[in-house]
Structure 1
Amino acid sequence: MSVPVEKQGLRQSMAWLHTWGGLWACWVLFVVFLTGSLGVFDEPITRWMKPQLPPAGAARDADDRAARAQAVRVAQAYLSQQVPRSHFWGIALPSDADQAVRLFWEDAQEQFHTIRLDAASGEPLQATDERESEGGHHFVHMHFEFHGGTAGIWLVGFFTLAMLVGLVSGVITHKRIFKDFFTFRPGKGQRSWLDAHNAVSVLSLPFQLMIAYTGLATFYALYMPVGIAVHYPSEDAYFAELLTQPEPREETGVDAAVTALDALLLGSERQLKRPVGFVRVEHPGDSSAAVVTFGRSIEKSGEYRLLGEGGGQVFFDGVSGEQRDLQAPGELRGGVAQDVQSVMRNLHFAAFGGYAARWLYFICGLAGAAMMATGAILFMVKRRQRSLHEFGARTPQVYRIIEVLNIGSISGLGLACIAFFWGNRLIPLGVDGRAEWEILAFFVVWLLTFVHAARRPVVAAWVEQLLATALLCLALPLLNWLVVGDQFVRYLQRGDGERAGVELMALVLGLLHLWAARRVWQRSQQAVGARPLRPGQPMPAEGL
């Protein structure tokens, strides 16, 4: 008999909150953690998905300032001709990750546009020229906004807050949490899932608390906009004052050409004593409001400190070319509060520590995903053994919906992720919007896994999706060899460790999924042997 709510103590109340709050949040949070773990290695994934790029660390000209200046010239010529007046221009200069010039702009209707140009000629690159792909950035966008823009960021923020509640309530509920960490009883059904859930939870608890809190702090201006809206005319004005940068000026509506950016680029690099990676022009074409900013793109190279971005920025008047401000590399602005927020942001994005930090985040992120998965499965394992009839006559239907959501969210997401890699190799190069087709393939496969889970018995759905994921993972190097003509051994011979690492990890994950499918099948067969089935009775789900 359940304890009446008014007579429940703190632990019982926290147990209810942890169980039901965690259940409805775990599916979204599993997606956040798994895609975030993959997103830690977004650059190697992008490099594998774009075979035209050179290996990481490939030798480049000792002084390619002239090439960067030429890239800025062709970018400015294209933008001046196509969108002379815009909310902003963005120019990403060629790098190891992309040899093209990438242009970004917002038109008069604030619609976002992007295009890639040949860095030497300025000609737009067509889809047939290179393997267009979102690459590993797809997983980054899934991690923090589900490709949903601002609405997606709010969605992830809500469930991140729910995660903090779940972590605290979980610590209160499990009074023997550290003792349980050293307890594992394999092959015991519900007890095994509980032990696994406790183990991965305690192991990664500090990381989970840190990653959830810093994720919320990263978007503080979006989640708590009222203070900024009351005291400042715009968010740009707030950050300009906070970071003591040139305050934005009102637009006059009077046309004026943007100053030559190539000369400003070379001057900025001399002051920053490092190459510039990104150019931003605010309100190009306006005689007063146009501002040009030169800076360096954020990289996970280990060069950046935990406190401070390290890259530096130079600000110029967009019409006269007069320098308005210089933020030297490593210079901190905004006071103590902004310094703390900078530390939180860099902690969340692993913008320090090089590969050691990235592998640590990857492992801890997978542990967080395992925590969500084991919690969701544990909920159903307990209720298969003894239903609590929480929803009255509709309880079996609700339990079935939860089973489907578990399968589609956990095994289905893994299948969709590896399908994204297969889409990169199978979608023809000449398709318009090819990168969007890859992302569409990801979502279509993911949706189909929910349909499959709804149509199949529980154990059969788990086993079939795990086997499908294993097959696609193990066959990925073969697919790459057939389509691109490259493979794991050649990557190692060329010293291309990033691409080789992607294929090696695909093989490891394929073997893990194969083992998981085998374990689920064996457990189901043991359950069948222990309890004979009636003719036509579906396979029991106790194997989980």
Structure 2
Amino acid sequence: MSQAEEKTALRQSMAWLHTWGGLWACWVLFVVFLTGTFGVFDDAITRWMKPQLPQASETRGMDDGVDRPQAVRLGQAYLSEHVPRSHFWGIGLPNDNDAAVRLFWEDQNEQFHNIRIDATSGEPIKATDERESEGGHHFVHMHFEFHAGTAGIWFVGFFTMAMLVGLVSGVITHKRIFKDFFTFRPGKAQRSWLDAHNAVSVLSLPFQLMIAYTGLATFYMLYMPAGIAVHYPSDDAYFANLLTQPEPREETGIDAPVTALDALLLSSEQQLQRPVSFVSVEHPGDSSASVVTFGRFIEKTGEYRLLGDGAGQVFFDGVSGAQLDLQAPGELRGGAAQDVQSVMRNLHFAAFGGHAARWLYFICGLAGAAMMATGAILFMVKRRQRALNEFGARTPQVYRVIEVLNIASISGLSLACIAFFWGNRLIPLGIADRPEWEVAAFFVVWLLTFVHAAWRPATRAWVEQLLATALLCLTLPLLNWLVVGDQFIRYLQRGDGERAGVELVAIALGLLCLWTARRVWQKSQQPATAKARRNSPRTASVEVAS
């Protein structure tokens, strides 16, 4: 076999791998990319979904108007009264996103609990008083674990590896990929979809490679646990050794009260020179108790350090209050390998560059989602024109299943995402587990789109789901005005760019869905129009005359 024949054979094998491997992975990866794109602005979405939160403040220094010692005293008093002995306490101090004190604990049965208390009175905040919501964190959890915990992380990791394979095989398959990037032929059916797929793929190829690889590197400990399990008794022990931090302590069973946390907070802030955002207590009520105070991350305008500023943390003995260790802001521990992992983590989470970097990630994320969508649609366009009978007599049924999955995974997911926002405004206040009801509404709507796609003809399913998505997006400000009394114009007048941005992006995506639905419908009518012209009396007479 000649060298040219070998190259052709390699390209053909890569084309098969890219086509079929990409098809089975693209549905999951579309979900990962679209929800991850929205998750870039999870704080802004959370602020929109919780109208009770204050407008984002530019105050970043020590004097931010929060009485943190009082807040941590109230948090410790509540936890000491209700759960004096537990595996873990956590006290989240008031910040721009939440004016309340957030309390977390893990009881003796290893059940996790949380509550919010007023930062002034220490009284629990009733669910009827505020709009509880998962907020933008829902999209973050969908992005990396589909709300399925460790199993979900493994699931997403598998398809992320498939994505890397798809990217490499795609580059090998398209030998003229960069030339094709500058070529777009509209109205050419399969050719147009291929041009669109090539364009968005090449445009965002560096971003796709970076985001996939760094996503895997972020969870290296979970994906490659064998080395850690062999050499360390626990993950905490591994990180303590790697980062030269105090070793985790075993419970002794000897009762001992937790020292005053407000004094530790003041000491930490003095040394870190920044506000403390979170206080963690391991084994409260036991003589082995230990305390860690975490500084607040401060994003400095004009700084774009990928290695990160690092918020800093201080370690204390939880009973005596003696300081055990100090990791100053910006101090790097763990060696070169940990530094590299830190860079990759910051790259993946856009933890640098401020709003400019986040908008860049948002645009590239949408391009990545478009790459998945156009690839899935291209497969069906090609098979509709030239079926290969890969599955014998069952090939039409398999193609139908693929088309249903295309519709529900692309337009159906988009509809479920905007339905999540509507659920936030329509689900009554004060019901138990309200954030879980919002997430449930998202999954119910998404499941119904699969049923709808299977029930309706393909073109009508596409158009109807896109129109429903456009309707919900375009009327979201109206819903917000009717329920809360606010909308993007009033947000802009108050200078609340985050909440206004959520509604303006929803309107833009609604217009995009409306335009897409119109194009799909027009395209579906072209064959019928051409057939009608061929069968018209005038055309027939011309053909006879000729």
Tell me, yes or no, if structure 1 residue 128 matches structure 2 residue 128. yes
Matched with 1:254 is 254
Distance in structure 2 (CA, Å) of the matches to 1:81 and 1:13? 66
Contact kept, 8 Å, 1:71 with 1:101, in 2: the verdict is yes
Contact kept, 8 Å, 1:259 with 1:319, in 2: the verdict is yes
Tell me, yes or no, if structure 1 residue 465 matches structure 2 residue 465. yes
Amino acid at match of 1:183: T
Tell me, yes or no, if structure 1 residue 234 matches structure 2 residue 234. yes
Amino acid at match of 1:182: F
Name which of structure 1's ranges 146-155 and 246-255 shifts more when overlaid on structure 2: 246-255
Q: Displacement of 1:367 after TM fit? A: 0.4
Alignment of 1:335-484 (within 5 A): 335-484=335-484
Alignment partner of 1:69: what SS?
helix
Contact kept, 8 Å, 1:65 with 1:266, in 2: the verdict is no
Contact kept, 8 Å, 1:300 with 1:350, in 2: the verdict is no
Amino acid at match of 2:161: L
- Please list the CA deviations of residues 485-522 of structure 1 after superposition, one character each: whole Å capped at 9, or x if unmatched: 11222111111111111111111111111000000000
Name which of structure 1's ranges 425-434 and 290-299 shifts more when overlaid on structure 2: 290-299
Distance in structure 2 (CA, Å) of the matches to 1:227 and 1:168? 29
Matched with 1:197 is 197
- Please list the CA deviations of residues 417-459 of structure 1 after superposition, one character each: whole Å capped at 9, or x if unmatched: 1001111111111211111111111110001001000000000
Distance in structure 1 (CA, Å) of the matches to 2:293 and 2:218? 23
Distance in structure 2 (CA, Å) of the matches to 1:218 and 1:515? 38
Distance in structure 1 (CA, Å) of the matches to 2:247 and 2:65? 30
Name which of structure 1's ranges 218-227 and 308-317 shifts more when overlaid on structure 2: 308-317
Q: Displacement of 1:411 after TM fit? A: 0.2
Alignment partner of 1:468: what SS?
helix
Q: Could you say if the C-alpha distance between residues 301 and 489 of structure 1 is closer, same or farther in structure 2, counting changes exceeding 3 Å?
A: farther
Amino acid at match of 2:168: V
Amino acid at match of 1:256: A
Q: Could you say if the C-alpha distance between residues 411 and 440 of structure 1 is closer, same or farther in structure 2, counting changes exceeding 3 Å?
A: same
Q: Displacement of 1:258 after TM fit? A: 1.2
Distance in structure 2 (CA, Å) of the matches to 1:445 and 1:301? 41
Amino acid at match of 2:165: V
- Please list the CA deviations of residues 367-401 of structure 1 after superposition, one character each: whole Å capped at 9, or x if unmatched: 00000000000001000001111111111111111
Q: Could you say if the C-alpha distance between residues 434 and 116 of structure 1 is closer, same or farther in structure 2, counting changes exceeding 3 Å?
A: same
Contact kept, 8 Å, 1:23 with 1:375, in 2: the verdict is yes
Q: Displacement of 1:287 after TM fit? A: 0.7
- Please list the CA deviations of residues 288-346 of structure 1 after superposition, one character each: whole Å capped at 9, or x if unmatched: 2x211111355777667311342111110111110000001100000000000000000
Contact kept, 8 Å, 2:275 with 2:296, in 1: the verdict is no
Distance in structure 2 (CA, Å) of the matches to 1:206 and 1:476? 34
Matched with 2:295 is 296
Amino acid at match of 1:415: L
Distance in structure 2 (CA, Å) of the matches to 1:297 and 1:320? 25
Contact kept, 8 Å, 1:420 with 1:441, in 2: the verdict is yes
Matched with 1:54 is 54
TM-score normalised over the length of structure 2 = 0.94
Distance in structure 2 (CA, Å) of the matches to 1:299 and 1:422? 33
Distance in structure 2 (CA, Å) of the matches to 1:394 and 1:416? 31
Name which of structure 1's ranges 451-460 and 48-57 shifts more when overlaid on structure 2: 48-57
- Please list the CA deviations of residues 196-248 of structure 1 after superposition, one character each: whole Å capped at 9, or x if unmatched: 00000000000000000000000000110000000011110110010111111
- Please list the CA deviations of residues 86-122 of structure 1 after superposition, one character each: whole Å capped at 9, or x if unmatched: 2222211111101111112222222222111111122
Amino acid at match of 1:147: H
Amino acid at match of 2:290: V
Alignment partner of 1:481: what SS?
helix
Amino acid at match of 2:319: V
Distance in structure 2 (CA, Å) of the matches to 1:66 and 1:350? 28
Amino acid at match of 2:155: L
Q: Could you say if the C-alpha distance between residues 34 and 298 of structure 1 is closer, same or farther in structure 2, counting changes exceeding 3 Å?
A: farther
Amino acid at match of 2:30: F
Tell me, yes or no, if structure 1 residue 501 matches structure 2 residue 480. no
Distance in structure 1 (CA, Å) of the matches to 2:448 and 2:63? 51
Alignment of 1:16-35 (within 5 A): 16-35=16-35
Alignment of 1:78-157 (within 5 A): 78-157=78-157
Distance in structure 2 (CA, Å) of the matches to 1:498 and 1:301? 19
Matched with 1:541 is none
Amino acid at match of 1:294: T
Q: For structure 1, which runs of at least 5 residues remain unmatched after alignment? A: 1-5, 534-544
Contact kept, 8 Å, 2:272 with 2:295, in 1: the verdict is no
Q: Displacement of 1:127 after TM fit? A: 1.2
Q: Displacement of 1:60 after TM fit? A: 9.4
Distance in structure 2 (CA, Å) of the matches to 1:246 and 1:492? 48
Tell me, yes or no, if structure 1 residue 169 matches structure 2 residue 169. yes
Alignment partner of 1:324: what SS?
strand
Amino acid at match of 1:291: S
Distance in structure 1 (CA, Å) of the matches to 2:46 and 2:363? 20
Name the count of aligned residue pairs. 527
Q: Displacement of 1:58 after TM fit? A: 6.3
Which one has a bigger Cα radius of gyration? 2
Alignment partner of 1:316: what SS?
strand
Contact kept, 8 Å, 2:308 with 2:351, in 1: the verdict is no
Contact kept, 8 Å, 1:14 with 1:173, in 2: the verdict is yes
Name which of structure 1's ranges 77-86 and 192-201 shifts more when overlaid on structure 2: 77-86
Contact kept, 8 Å, 1:304 with 1:310, in 2: the verdict is no
Distance in structure 1 (CA, Å) of the matches to 2:526 and 2:144? 41
Give identity over the alignment, percent.
Answer: 83
TM-score normalised over the length of structure 1 = 0.94
Contact kept, 8 Å, 2:313 with 2:327, in 1: the verdict is yes
Distance in structure 2 (CA, Å) of the matches to 1:370 and 1:431? 38
Alignment partner of 2:128: what SS?
coil
Contact kept, 8 Å, 2:66 with 2:94, in 1: the verdict is no
Q: Could you say if the C-alpha distance between residues 192 and 7 of structure 1 is closer, same or farther in structure 2, counting changes exceeding 3 Å?
A: closer
- Please list the CA deviations of residues 155-176 of structure 1 after superposition, one character each: whole Å capped at 9, or x if unmatched: 1111101100110111111111
Q: Displacement of 1:82 after TM fit? A: 2.2
Distance in structure 1 (CA, Å) of the matches to 2:30 and 2:59? 39
Amino acid at match of 1:244: T
Contact kept, 8 Å, 2:298 with 2:311, in 1: the verdict is no
Distance in structure 2 (CA, Å) of the matches to 1:61 and 1:236? 31
Distance in structure 2 (CA, Å) of the matches to 1:61 and 1:229? 41
Distance in structure 2 (CA, Å) of the matches to 1:17 and 1:217? 24
Q: For structure 2, which runs of at least 5 residues remain unmatched after alignment? A: 1-5, 534-546
Q: Displacement of 1:124 after TM fit? A: 1.4
